[in-house]
Amino acid sequence: MRSSQNKVTTLTAAIASLVKNNCHLSIGGFTINRNPMAAVYEIIRQQKRGLHLYAHSNGQGVDELIGAGCVSRLEIAYAGSGRFAPTCIRFRRAVERGEILVEDYSNYQMTLRFMAGAMGLPFLPTRSGLGTDIIRHWGFAKSLRKNDNGLPDQKLITIDNPFGDWCDSPKLVLVPAINPEVTIIHVQQADRRGNARIQGLTFADIEQAKAARHLIITCEELVEEEFLKREPDRNQIPFIHVDAVIPITWGAYPTACYRHYDYDPRYLNNYRQTAEDEESYQTYLVEKIMGCANHQEFIALNDDEHLKNLIADPETGYATGLKRN
Amino acid sequence: MRSSQNKVTTLTAAIASLVKNNCHLSIGGFTINRNPMAAVYEIIRQQKRGLHLYAHSNGQGVDELIGAGCVSRLEIAYAGSGRFAPTCIRFRRAVERGEILVEDYSNYQMTLRFMAGAMGLPFLPTRSGLGTDIIRHWGFAKSLRKNDNGLPDQKLITIDNPFGDWCDSPKLVLVPAINPEVTIIHVQQADRRGNARIQGLTFADIEQAKAARHLIITCEELVEEEFLKREPDRNQIPFIHVDAVIPITWGAYPTACYRHYDYDPRYLNNYRQTAEDEESYQTYLVEKIMGCANHQEFIALNDDEHLKNLIADPETGYATGLKRN
Amino acid sequence: MIKKEEIETGYSRREMMTIAAAREIKNGEIVFCGTGISMLAAMAAKNISAPQSTIFFETGAIDSRLDEVPLAVADSRVMHATAVNGGLAEAFATMQNRFTGSRVVGILGAAQIDIYGNLNSTAIGDYRQPEVRFSGSGGACDVASFVNRTIIFMQHEKRKFVEKLDYFTSPGWIDGPDGRQKIGLGSGGPETVITNLGVLRFAEESKKMYLAACYPGITPEEVQLNTGFTLDLEQAEVFPPPTSTELKILRQRCDPQRLILD
Amino acid sequence: MIKKEEIETGYSRREMMTIAAAREIKNGEIVFCGTGISMLAAMAAKNISAPQSTIFFETGAIDSRLDEVPLAVADSRVMHATAVNGGLAEAFATMQNRFTGSRVVGILGAAQIDIYGNLNSTAIGDYRQPEVRFSGSGGACDVASFVNRTIIFMQHEKRKFVEKLDYFTSPGWIDGPDGRQKIGLGSGGPETVITNLGVLRFAEESKKMYLAACYPGITPEEVQLNTGFTLDLEQAEVFPPPTSTELKILRQRCDPQRLILD
């Protein structure tokens, strides 16, 4: 499939065929930017269960998947949505209630774990984490690890530098690779074969993409291959890694997509309030998410004027002067 | 110096102050592309001696430095100039005569060594090299390593995967970081503070740049900071790594500089013939290199018509239809 | 909403904290910012006393212009007019890098801090089923491990300044002057803790936190009362209040919408 | 300069070698190319039988268009109209990657080869002061370690097909069927050796090289005479000569200036 010349499909089909119950899934984006939200909502609609989810610092996407009951296990560095939710609400509740198992890493550790996966290595070293509870406390017990061959037998391993005092690093933490069964990222532009261009910060999306067995790319714009090939210095993901391409405008909404639209402060503030209350959260899920057949319908819940305010200014890449209180 | 707002200087001053005799130097570029040739020739003019040189696959730059007697030790993966010299001539001769010490790595190993340096790590792992003489044969003896605190005590170390069979990698080769005292790269565009943009392939230049204690950037074009900041996705090196910026047109000549000019087949073919003969090589050094006060004079040895033929076609980035026999 | 303290002094505690942190930033430094008040402190420093400091985010943005205050480190506002837009890999490598990391000052926050400046931003109670769960390390553990010095923002409450952390997320001085060296970390460590009551630093010989200054109107005893371990109060001075220039720049240039200040 | 063989057959040995290698490349494969003839073989395959193969260079170029033949893997010609222009780090990661590496076919050359397809491209004689020094591994050791299968180009001479390599640069089958596994490498290994005399492959049970085919006009005995170890000659067929279409495309589309073919 990865050498196919046309990978364009529907989100419904891609999620149905690649995101299985209990699978190991990684989603791109960071807190309130470029989360693959259309895909997240489709996963919720298809009522996937038991997902083993990986992210580094993810906010909205992770919180909605947890809130909808799709997630059993989570490996993460940070679950927050910036000022809109310093700690994600449904994440916090699920962990405190013991509804999901969570295993903590630092942001760089998660980045290196995806990078190791992308590089085809079992681990990468870092000095981050030495002496901390991130090493001492495991979220997943040894037995759970043994029974899932998608997990390494150990969380993190501290070693002495085999090169002695080279680089003034007497000790290193080895972080094990992640090779998710599926990664989903949202990008600004892709072509039918799957070549992709991210504008602005790439976060750890490239590493997450290349570490995965299967890669789903949702994109704001489907463009011609020739268009991307005119400036290949600006592309990051070659088609050889890609399984499915789905063009979806507003595909990251309510999170931001640099140079296309900003995050929606109204949505994110409402979400925080809604997420705090069990009943209103269930109503939100039923009406806003399950109640829409697809992302287009979900976006259409907004009036045009509201969406227009979120459109990025071509100069700065965000909605300059947007009311964000 | 690295936080200075204006790092523009002359090549003469930058080489004189940063490239000391016997220092550990790394140069960017790959075989016949984007070698920092203006800097190489200036090093030759200043008659630097005893350099400990690092490259991955470098052709022209390495060969000229060796030919001029500047180099004592070399760590490298590949010394060749493509079809113009499958093995670099002066390199080959110097090694066969025992005039320089050389230590061999693979291209990925060298890349990872620079990457480790850039990441502030003492080593990175790979599966490349397992079972080969690249691990068994050291170019530098233990005693030499002990006496130079710029070198790790061991060349390469093979370990068992501490995560067992995770990622089907029972064994790994650990490659030690390189932190050169100075790296020199040639880029297409830079601003006065040192922000830099490479067009086309980056080779391992970014890793080499960030691994170094001091970084000299030569650039085809000195541009305004605002120009680079308008499209930061296309920049690779932020000013915080940079010590000196020197604008030099044709700074990579006779190697290519994508989107600016092609390599010069006539020069490279003549060089190969010249390099084969001891006497003509000494004449070349005296007349062509030492005989020019600077790179501008060296470039001016060519008539305008010849240089015009090398100018890159704006569509393809190279000199389309160039006679290359 | 105007708070009582603001009516009395003409500035809020949050403004005082932001300016206190901004004053710690030296010209030429590379400033690692998290979300919220730390970002505002970096913006204030750049606009007031350290114009050649470089603001830098773990998301990969270096030297962001920040025409508007970002509400998260991944906010598109950090991506505009940067020197380079990279990713997390590049950002953390810059901090772990031996040549650039030593020029980075990190600004962090946490849910708990101990006397050696070690931080918890993960959980209260049992790790696997906590009483209170926080966001997690994010980049905090990385920054605290790599960079030359860190500035820490805290709300000054007894339950937050604790004898023993519920979860050890990010390394401070560990357990004393050679604590970091013993576990394999290089130089660096926390330098200043800025709270809503005053400024704390770490004693050279013990690396224990002491009270360096109280904000005008706060007594050292009040600080001790809100601290879960015994503080050396002997060296406490009165912290110089924000100048009108500092306040003006903070309010008008950095956060005119008061998105973070309120 | 027309060679004797070319007058007799209408094509040169170098053309025969290039086409023999091109025929090994499957549609949909990712083709790692070195400098020279291997690059031409990949171009020929893409233009003849494997239009959906992807040409890829260790320098970081993926899916280069190659309107003109490059004279080195860093030639600016490989940078034009690619899917992505990256660097060495990305290129080798693609080969070491568990999902993409298995779809890469690598084309390599060397100065010496042994019966298990292990390669020397470093030195003849003592490593530290060699009789003959070559360019060194470049990416050869990396490719030979990582990818699923490799095709090797060799000049067929006794001093190049040796019992024991002077320097072991790149792993083939090491010393037999479980050789790679013993040293910690995954699946993959050399599949075909293409020389100026014929095509050699590796026996399934022993992983020893055998003669699979001779070019028209070459006898198995001639091949053995130019090989420094004993070859199984029993399975040698006559290799089908280049078709006129293959020759036409190779000469007109791939290397009209005969920069590599001569």
> What confidence tens digit (pLDDT) does each residue in D96-129 have?
999 999 999 999 999 999 999 999 999 999 999 9
Residue A193, Cβ density class (10 Å: 0-12 exposed, 13-18 middle, ≥19 buried):
buried
- CATH number at C171 reads 3.40.1080.10
How many CB atoms neighbour CB B16 within 10 A? 13
Whether C143 and C95 have beta carbons less than 8 Å apart is answered as: yes
Is the C-alpha dihedral spanning B81, B85, B88, B90 positive or negative? Answer: negative
Whether A108 and A200 have beta carbons less than 8 Å apart is answered as: no
Mean pLDDT of D128-134: 95
- Whether residue A318 and residue C128 make contact (CB cut-off 8 A), yes or no, is no
- Whether residue D96 and residue A120 make contact (CB cut-off 8 A), yes or no, is yes
Coil, strand, or helix at residue D175?
coil
pLDDT less than 50: residues of chain B: none
Pairwise CA distance, residues A270 & A79, whole Å:
18
- Which residues make beta-bridge pairs with D193? D152, D200
- CA distance, residue D224 to nearest chain B CA (Å): 27
* Residues of chain D contacting B316 with CB distance shorter than 8 Å: 67, 76-77, 80-81
Mean pLDDT of D224-244: 97
Which of D98, D145, D148, D185 to mutate against chain A (most A CBs within 10 Å)? D98
pLDDT at D5: 63
* Residues of chain B contacting A199 with CB distance shorter than 8 Å: 233
Q: Is the pLDDT of residue C183 over 80?
A: yes
* Residues of chain D contacting A230 with CB distance shorter than 8 Å: 81
Which of A24, A123, A165, A229 to mutate against chain B (most B CBs within 10 Å)? A123
Pairwise CA distance, residues C62 & C74, whole Å:
12
The count of domains in chain C is 1
A167: number of CA atoms within 13 Å, CB side?
33
Per residue in C146-175, pLDDT (tens digit) is: 999 999 999 999 999 999 999 999 999 999
pLDDT at C9: 80
Length of chain A: 325
- Whether residue A77 and residue C136 make contact (CB cut-off 8 A), yes or no, is yes
Give me the phi and psi of C14, to 5 degrees please: -65, -35
pLDDT band at A208; cut points 50, 70, 90: very high
- Whether residue B162 and residue A159 make contact (CB cut-off 8 A), yes or no, is yes
Mean pLDDT of D6-13: 82
CA-nearest residue to D183 within chain B is: B131
Token pair listed for D218: 């070459």
- Whether residue D184 and residue B256 make contact (CB cut-off 8 A), yes or no, is no
pLDDT at C6: 67
Catalytic residues of C: 58
- CA distance, residue C213 to nearest chain B CA (Å): 31
Residue B293 DSSP one-character state: S
Name which of A57, A105, A325 is nearest C259 (Cβ-Cβ): A325
- Whether residue C146 and residue A105 make contact (CB cut-off 8 A), yes or no, is no
pLDDT band at D200; cut points 50, 70, 90: very high
- Whether residue B121 and residue C96 make contact (CB cut-off 8 A), yes or no, is yes
- pTM, 2 dp: 0.98
Instruction: Give the N- to C-terminal CA distance of chain D in Å, as an integer.
Output: 8
Of B19, B14, B136, B111, the C-alpha closest to B58 is: B111
pLDDT at D6: 67
Question: Is the CB of residue A126 less than 8 Å away from at least one CB of chain B?
Answer: yes
Distance, CA of A318 to chain centre: 21
Percent of chain A with pLDDT over 90: 98
- Whether residue C84 and residue B235 make contact (CB cut-off 8 A), yes or no, is yes
D209-229 CB burial, b ≥16 within 10 A, e <16: bbbbbbbeebebeebbebbbe
Residue A143, Cβ density class (10 Å: 0-12 exposed, 13-18 middle, ≥19 buried):
exposed
CB pairs under 8 A between B and C: 62
Pairwise CA distance, residues D198 & D193, whole Å:
8
Residue D94 lies in a domain: yes
Name which of D85, D98, D101 is nearest A232 (Cβ-Cβ): D85
pLDDT at C4: 63
Question: Is the CB of residue B238 less than 8 Å away from at least one CB of chain A?
Answer: no
CB pairs under 8 A between A and C: 229
Of A138, A150, A65, the C-alpha closest to A103 is: A138
pLDDT at D35: 82
Name which of D29, D83, D97 is nearest A120 (Cβ-Cβ): D97
CATH number of A123-176: 3.30.30.40
Strands (E), B100-247: 101-104, 123-126, 157-160, 171-176, 182-190, 196-197, 214-222, 244-247
- CA distance, residue B146 to nearest chain A CA (Å): 12
Q: What is the CA radius of gyration of chain D?
A: 18
Q: Is the pLDDT of residue A75 over 80?
A: yes
Residue C106 DSSP one-character state: E
Residue D155, Cβ density class (10 Å: 0-12 exposed, 13-18 middle, ≥19 buried):
middle
Catalytic residues of D: 58
Q: A248 vs A37, A187, A285, CA distance in Å?
A: 10, 10, 21
pLDDT at C3: 63
Residue D239 lies in a domain: yes
Mean pLDDT of C1-5: 58
Amino acid at C76: S
Counting CB pairs under 8 A, whether chains C and D reach 3 or more, is: no
Sheet with C84-85, edge to edge strand ranges: C84-85, C61-62, C54-57, C30-33, C104-109, C149-154, C190-195, C198-202, C209-214, C237-238
Mean pLDDT of D49-77: 95
- CA distance, residue D138 to nearest chain A CA (Å): 19
CA-nearest residue to D50 within chain A is: A3
pLDDT band at D9; cut points 50, 70, 90: confident
- Whether residue B203 and residue D59 make contact (CB cut-off 8 A), yes or no, is yes
Residue B8, Cβ density class (10 Å: 0-12 exposed, 13-18 middle, ≥19 buried):
middle
Per residue in B253-305, pLDDT (tens digit) is: 999 999 999 999 999 999 999 999 999 999 999 999 999 999 999 999 999 99
CA-nearest residue to B224 within chain C is: C83
Range of the domain at D163: 4-254
* Residues of chain B contacting D74 with CB distance shorter than 8 Å: 29-34, 57, 82, 201, 203
CA-nearest residue to B179 within chain C is: C98
- Whether residue B238 and residue C28 make contact (CB cut-off 8 A), yes or no, is no
Of B100, B272, B325, B114, the C-alpha closest to B205 is: B114
Whether D168 and B133 have beta carbons less than 8 Å apart is answered as: yes
* Residues of chain A contacting D88 with CB distance shorter than 8 Å: none
pLDDT at D29: 94
How many CB atoms neighbour CB B291 within 10 A? 14
Residue D261 lies in a domain: no
Per residue in C51-96, pLDDT (tens digit) is: 999 999 999 999 999 999 999 999 999 999 999 999 999 999 999 9
Which of B7, B18, B24, B119 to mutate against chain C (most C CBs within 10 Å)? B119
Question: Checking phi first, is residue A167 left (phi over 0); if not, alpha (psi -120 to 50) or beta?
Answer: left
pLDDT at C255: 94
> Domain residues of chain B, as ranges?
11-122+178-308, 123-176
**What is the topology classification, in CATH, of domain B11-122+178-308?**
Glutaconate Coenzyme A-transferase (3.40.1080)
Pairwise CA distance, residues C259 & C140, whole Å:
23
Residue A250 DSSP one-character state: T
- Whether residue D84 and residue A195 make contact (CB cut-off 8 A), yes or no, is yes
- Whether residue A32 and residue C75 make contact (CB cut-off 8 A), yes or no, is yes
Is the C-alpha dihedral spanning C48, C53, C57, C63 positive or negative? Answer: positive
CA-nearest residue to C260 within chain A is: A83
* Residues of chain D contacting A149 with CB distance shorter than 8 Å: none
Question: Checking phi first, is residue A248 left (phi over 0); if not, alpha (psi -120 to 50) or beta?
Answer: beta
Pairwise CA distance, residues D87 & B234, whole Å:
14
C26: number of CA atoms within 13 Å, CB side?
9
- Whether residue A238 and residue D63 make contact (CB cut-off 8 A), yes or no, is yes
In this structure, the strands spanning D132-133 and D123-124 are antiparallel
The DSSP-derived string for B177-205 is ----SEEEEEEEEE-TT--EE--S--BTH
pLDDT at C36: 87
Residue C92, Cβ density class (10 Å: 0-12 exposed, 13-18 middle, ≥19 buried):
buried
Residue D26 lies in a domain: yes
pLDDT at D186: 84
Residue C260 lies in a domain: no
The DSSP-derived string for C174-229 is TTSTTHHHHHT--S--EEEEEESSEEEEE-TTT--EEEEEE-TT--HHHHHHT-SS
Per residue in B29-66, pLDDT (tens digit) is: 999 999 999 999 999 999 999 999 999 999 999 999 99
Name which of A117, A121, A199 is nearest B125 (Cβ-Cβ): A121
